[in-house]
Structure 1
Amino acid sequence: MEAIRTSSLSLRFRAARPAAAATSESQANRMFVFGYGFVGRYVSERLKTEGWQVSGTCTSAVKKRQLEDVGLEAFMFDVNKDELKGLYSLQDATHLLISIPPIPGIGDPLVCLHEDLRSTLSCGNLQWLCYLSSTSVYGDCGGAWVDEDYPVNPKRESAKARFSAEKGWLDLGHDLGVAAYVFRLGGIYGPGRSALDTIISPTAMSEKQKMRNSRRYTARVHVADIYQAIKASFDVPYSGRIYNVVDDEPAPRAEVFAYAQDLIQRKGTGLSGEIDDGDLASFGTNQVEGYTGGGEKRVSNARLKKELGVELFYPTYRSGLQSISDSWTCRDSHQPR
């Protein structure tokens, strides 16, 4: 696949009414989230506390009950067999967040529903949509600094599917006449999902985690900074824009885990854990069978700061992990808040 300049995805960059300015009361803002995962739930819970009406999808009855227990409206939704008409609050949404990853062999599971989405959302309520993509679309850039206009060259099928989905969602936003954005996220971490939690966990690293151990550079972003980027985009009067949502310091996993290990040791009472010797040995090597090398790149967040005015809460992995460590009071307290 030849490298493609991502600016081609922004050809429809145009003026648009700021999404949040359409209503004078926050109560009138209605967010629908496709995919109540780690990011989707974090964003939804915080919007709920600000007076938003929030609803979204999940894939199990257990998850549905958990979401309803914290006051979120949840629909069980299987994109392969369920119809959009069952999501009765979707047509009332003023904001739409898409946080469903590609499915191997299928791609974006919602792409096939774009005609139905266009029909459902064409009633005029929707003002803003955002697709959460990944920095994996850039592929291997040899460690170069990359911004949103850098030619993308995805190698893995999942990255190719994400890049294709980016165009699909921007096109849908254009057709609906709403503000549409793509956020290319780095590795997501936060309370309950971090290097600290991996070390504390009684289970060994997964093969997928080990596959990333040899990379010199890994872009990361704290979930709280994803949330503030989403909020900032509500007030930007343009559409069709792509943003890298990452912190300031791409760093190797070995360095991050060493710092996390030190935080745990300094925490002392009630906390214990260390990286397995076999996992430590995998840092800096390609020991996983079939692994052909990571996408080496350093991802720039300059556009995020300049255009959205975002000042990162956690500009480095150190500040982010320190915040998570500070929130722990005992062995069982490292849970998402």
Structure 2
Amino acid sequence: MEICQLSGRFFSAVPLQFNVGLRKSSRAPKFLVCSNRVNCYQTGKTDQDSRNRMFILGMGFVGQFFTQELLNEGWVVSGTCTSMKKRNELEQRGFNVILFDANQPEMSTMNSLKSCTHLLVSIPPVMGIGDPILQHGELLRSTLMDVNLQWLCYLSSTSVYGDCGGACVDEGYPVSPTNEMAKLRLAAEQGWLKVAHDAGIKAHVFRLGGIYGPGRSAVDTIIKREPLSESQKRRVSKQFTSRVHVADICQALKASIHKKPARRIYNIVDDDPASRKEVFAYALDLVEKKWHSLTKETTHERAESFGQKASLRGEKRVSNAHMKNELAVQLLYPSYKSGLQSIVDQMENPF
């Protein structure tokens, strides 16, 4: 299978430590909690002023993984979710989360932005609304005008490129989203870049491939024996799908904080675009080799689910050359094969 030719200089995947000097800021709100679960204002003003403070709008799969990595490195991290149930679950894991209502954002959410040094936006658009934060543009602008924000990143999707007929695309390829959600993604990209520009803040957009990782992968789908979601069914016939492991997304995020690159938009994908049929066949093989209790009946059912004829409609092979060359990211999982193998290796018997 032909794939994009990607090259660049890499560095060893060593966890980055950030000790960026910050200007003094006002006392942090009480909901900001350090990694040891002690309120930051209790640790002394000097410690508070010297710590990097990340706020994550949208504590989803990527946000949770990134939060844990940052907490392990001594960051102060807070974020948002949209339900009390999820908030309780995240707090039980030691995360600090506040509820967010897209229609009526509380001032506590906006005030929290004034205390952070870094902001990650990981909220998908809402049909009929668009980006739920940008709909309150004036309030957002006025908030960001008075902050000590050093870095902002919006997590988008490679879907903004639209139908490319299997072409290899980089960040300069014309965007032409073909479905409503992709169009809203593109509008959100433009909106966040404009808001950041107006506020004098350096901002980036990361266009992510299909996200997978522990708990969210072809291996997990097979083991749970759940029916395919509607979005999965729509992607079954694609010959090429660019993916990225959540750990490599976090690598790219930390690299952009550390290196402060000039480019605003980056594709964040692995080296191996492949069909879902191919990926699930490999995942099935891994599962059957490690856990022989998986029935052949289930195996055949899954194989048939991904046996539809492939098509190049709407497909693309996404280049990650700029991510490698400019962010100097060396992928931990350059292929779905190494990524799925690591997931299986970390699993205990799930049956």
Q: Give the counterpart letter for 1:62 in structure 2.
A: K
Separation (CA, whole Å) in 2 of partners of 1:159 and 1:86? 26
Residue 33 of structure 1 pairs with residue 56 of structure 2? yes
Task: Tell me how far 1:115 sits from its aligned partner.
Answer: 1.7
Tell which deviates more after alignment, 272-281 or 73-82: 272-281
Structure 2 gaps of 5+ residues are 1-17, 24-46
1:281–1:123: structure 2 CA closer, same or farther, 3 Å change rule?
Answer: closer
1:22–1:294: structure 2 CA closer, same or farther, 3 Å change rule?
Answer: farther
Aligned residues: 309
SS in 2 for 1:204: coil
Task: Tell me how far 1:116 sits from its aligned partner.
Answer: 1.1
Tell which deviates more after alignment, 113-122 or 165-174: 113-122
2:118 is aligned to: 95
Structure 1 gaps of 5+ residues are 1-18, 287-291, 333-337
1:247 is aligned to: 270
Deviations 1:185-212 (A, max 9, x none): 0000000000001111132112221110
Separation (CA, whole Å) in 2 of partners of 1:284 and 1:118? 48
% identical equivalent positions: 55
2:195 is aligned to: 172
In the TM superposition, what are the counterparts of 1:1-337 in structure 2 within 5 Å? 21-23=20-22, 28-239=51-262, 241-268=264-291, 274-275=298-299, 277=301, 280-285=304-309, 295-331=314-350
1:95–1:275: structure 2 CA closer, same or farther, 3 Å change rule?
Answer: farther
Superposition misfits of 4+ residues, deviation over 6 angstroms: none
Deviations 1:160-192 (A, max 9, x none): 111111111111121222221000000000000
Separation (CA, whole Å) in 2 of partners of 1:20 and 1:136? 35
2:12 is aligned to: none
Return the TM-score normalized by structure 2. 0.82
SS in 1 for 2:98: strand
Separation (CA, whole Å) in 1 of partners of 2:210 and 2:224? 19
Separation (CA, whole Å) in 1 of partners of 2:212 and 2:313? 19
Separation (CA, whole Å) in 2 of partners of 1:114 and 1:22? 29
Separation (CA, whole Å) in 2 of partners of 1:49 and 1:93? 18
Task: Tell me how far 1:240 sits from its aligned partner.
Answer: 5.6
1:328–1:86: structure 2 CA closer, same or farther, 3 Å change rule?
Answer: closer
Separation (CA, whole Å) in 1 of partners of 2:21 and 2:321? 28
Separation (CA, whole Å) in 2 of partners of 1:226 and 1:305? 12
Q: Is the 8 A contact 1:84 1:117 kept in 2?
A: no
1:86–1:96: structure 2 CA closer, same or farther, 3 Å change rule?
Answer: closer
Separation (CA, whole Å) in 1 of partners of 2:176 and 2:330? 29
Separation (CA, whole Å) in 2 of partners of 1:256 and 1:206? 16
